[in-house]
Structure 1
């Protein structure tokens, strides 16, 4: 039985506290970045549940610093499992397992699921269709890469998540401005390489979420985003779970199966993004952790499956408990629009409930008076709405009702400190 688990977490993504309710773990050591906003219960939580210790490091991407910290912990209490539910810690967790001889996915697999250049190269080598791509080690190299691939292009950090610092660049002058602007300067200061991809117009963007055990998918579900995510943070975004008889279901699932095998995942949860263009499906990106936004809850509403339970179980070497009980209709998750500033007006939960036929649940994350940072991503939202529809046409009707009802006004907020990593 696993007794001591180390969990790496970052500044940005909320820590899923479900691990701290896991009875098969006696002790959890959380390695968190200094300045993190999380609130961890130190010491014993309650009888029968793990004790919790917290170590702070400058960055969970610094493998040398994190390895030193975990070695010190191991000297006091041997480590049985190492995991990271955040993108920025996936490769480091794999490195620690390989360096310390701890069971679980290796450094090679962690890199394949977190470094977008290496990921796409593996996918291409396996014969999977992706957008054409290259890598530059300095943002100024985007101009030459764009000339080679053809404009416009999409640029993104090789390690990143949730559309953070992802942009479309339309030509050489825009590339020069981006490279010398705030994002380019930050990536250069971080020593972060940049993936440059050809821009491919998407007809539809999909995500497939699955629980994998011994290299096989125990459970998988296919969803369609309302619209491609890039550039839609200040608009309604979200997705709906498609039925098995949908014309795109089987091909999306088959491509995901091939992608997961190509990237080497044996045990865990995967979130794979695909898109369909005029010449068919392409694989976008893949992650080996549960998705953000309201997707996890939507899947639970639709199929009764808890992806976080599946993730923790697989990461701890246990058999995931998957009691699939599928429900009727199409479950939809909606991220309400968000913009930087201080909120001076915001729809109430009661107003959202009144405006949403087929409502399942509403989870408001913010209130009037809250300050919204400019550091937004594709999962940033003032609240998440879950509803059920009979078909795609009814989804559109309900979304129109929500658009008419939703109110959010902001005023300029005080200047923010520089963003951490």
Structure 2
């Protein structure tokens, strides 16, 4: 019997799915540490959790150490300290180091969370990634812009996905960014070379440093374009066949990157670009499962329980990789066309009539709900088909048929 403590800031949809999966792992007892109140964890799960320990700040490693030690002394000896939320990974890793528990330590996790450090490590190993500079003042930012040229990408040094990321097209826009961010050595601004090309993901599992499983998907369009154009209803497409030579470079580079960054056992979510000349450029790597419905999309593509397998991976270091990718899958994200509240949703009935047999998961936007701050929008539709083009056509149909009217 093994006992684990799962750390999450709040009981959101992702956390609840992982708690449910962990509770179903045989020979595993589970406690949960969070900032949230128990009432926000479904009762059917709460009654199965051995202990919920509430802390004031899950990003405070000292609080996590104290909570884990209390659980270890009063509930059961703790074997694993777990987290899938990127926001708490550093604190959890620091607590692991203090408690001498298995799992990625703070030095490894900082390679994934600190974006400039990540790029430095990758470039030092000869892996292709965009030129970048962590500018501590306006003069350094302008020097880098003069060296690399426009456009540039500005982002927070420890961002998640494309949140708070935007394109700086010229000197005037750079002036506005610098005026807003007021960079200092304590609070620098991260600038990167703008990479042109088709953006993809590489989601992978390693155990003991050895490749176990991988998946590749394509963003349609690139997330930075989605962030800059809030009206775009974007998509993620998982091709059925990813075994061909066109993906050989990212298979090799992706697993090399994980080794260089120090991930021995775990799951990663990597974003990468294929440029027009075919060259691969690595963007960012996270030591966590992918967002944008990628967990569900991979589950549907392979006809297996992705959440359960990741739960086993982080608790017992095992992962039963599926033998084949049975389907192509895709997600269409439904987004309000303007800030405010969702007033109408058009096209649901027609989309269900045309594509009902292909739809595997759906969350239709609800009239009256506020427009989401996330670029994933107010809803989504997941589809699958034996052929990649069948999914691509279905995604085109969904974003053309369904409209979320907000104001």
TM over 0.5: yes
Q: Kindly indicate whether the alpha-carbon contact (under 8 Å) linking 1:240 and 1:332 is maintained by their aligned counterparts in 2.
A: yes
Superposition pairs of residues 17-416 of structure 1, within 5 angstroms: 17=19, 18-32=21-35, 39-41=40-42, 45-46=46-47, 49-58=48-57, 60-77=58-75, 78-137=77-136, 142-181=141-180, 184=181, 192-202=187-197, 204-233=198-227, 234=230, 235-242=232-239, 243-279=241-277, 280-328=279-327, 330-339=328-337, 340-347=339-346, 349-356=348-355, 359-373=358-372, 375-377=373-375, 379-388=376-385, 390-392=387-389, 394-411=390-407
Gaps of 5+ in 2: none
Deviations 1:354-386 (A, max 9, x none): 24376232411531111124x323x34422332
Query: Which residue is 1:415 aligned to?
Result: none
* C-alpha RMSD over aligned residues: 3.0
Q: Kindly indicate whether the alpha-carbon contact (under 8 Å) linking 1:25 and 1:50 is maintained by their aligned counterparts in 2.
A: no
> Which structure is higher in helix share?
2
* SS at structure 2 position matched to 1:148: helix
Deviations 1:152-180 (A, max 9, x none): 21111111212110111123321221233
Deviations 1:163-222 (A, max 9, x none): 1101111233212212333xx37x98xx654321111211x1111112221111211122
Cα offset, 1:247, TM superposition? 4.3
Deviations 1:229-259 (A, max 9, x none): 1131532222222313544222221111111
Rate the CA distance shift 1:338–1:29 in 2: closer, same or farther, 3 A: same
Deviations 1:8-58 (A, max 9, x none): 3358874233224334332312233x6x89822579845xx4323031323
Q: Kindly indicate whether the alpha-carbon contact (under 8 Å) linking 2:32 and 2:53 is maintained by their aligned counterparts in 1.
A: yes
Cα distance in structure 2, aligned partners of 1:94 and 1:80: 14
Cα distance in structure 2, aligned partners of 1:331 and 1:38: 35
* SS at structure 1 position matched to 2:259: helix
Rate the CA distance shift 1:358–1:198 in 2: closer, same or farther, 3 A: farther
Q: Are 1:2 and 2:12 counterparts? A: no
Rate the CA distance shift 1:362–1:229 in 2: closer, same or farther, 3 A: same
Q: Which stretches of structure 1, 4 residues or longer, exceed 6 Å deviation after superposition?
A: none
Q: Kindly indicate whether the alpha-carbon contact (under 8 Å) linking 2:203 and 2:216 is maintained by their aligned counterparts in 1.
A: yes
For these two proteins, the number of residue pairs brought into alignment is: 397
Cα distance in structure 2, aligned partners of 1:43 and 1:406: 34
Q: Kindly indicate whether the alpha-carbon contact (under 8 Å) linking 1:222 and 1:252 is maintained by their aligned counterparts in 2.
A: no
Cα distance in structure 2, aligned partners of 1:274 and 1:122: 16
* SS at structure 2 position matched to 1:155: strand
Rate the CA distance shift 1:43–1:222 in 2: closer, same or farther, 3 A: closer
Q: In terms of mean alpha carbon deviation, does 100-109 or 13-22 score higher?
A: 13-22
Q: In terms of mean alpha carbon deviation, does 158-167 or 133-142 score higher?
A: 133-142
Q: In terms of mean alpha carbon deviation, does 286-295 or 6-15 score higher?
A: 6-15
Cα distance in structure 2, aligned partners of 1:272 and 1:146: 26
Gaps of 5+ in 1: 412-421
Deviations 1:262-309 (A, max 9, x none): 111111111111111145101111111111122111111111243322
Rate the CA distance shift 1:403–1:238 in 2: closer, same or farther, 3 A: closer
Q: In terms of mean alpha carbon deviation, does 163-172 or 143-152 score higher?
A: 143-152
TM-score (norm 2): 0.87
Rate the CA distance shift 1:217–1:307 in 2: closer, same or farther, 3 A: farther
Cα distance in structure 1, aligned partners of 2:301 and 2:42: 32
Cα distance in structure 1, aligned partners of 2:6 and 2:152: 39
* SS at structure 2 position matched to 1:368: coil
Cα offset, 1:337, TM superposition? 2.7
Rate the CA distance shift 1:120–1:195 in 2: closer, same or farther, 3 A: same
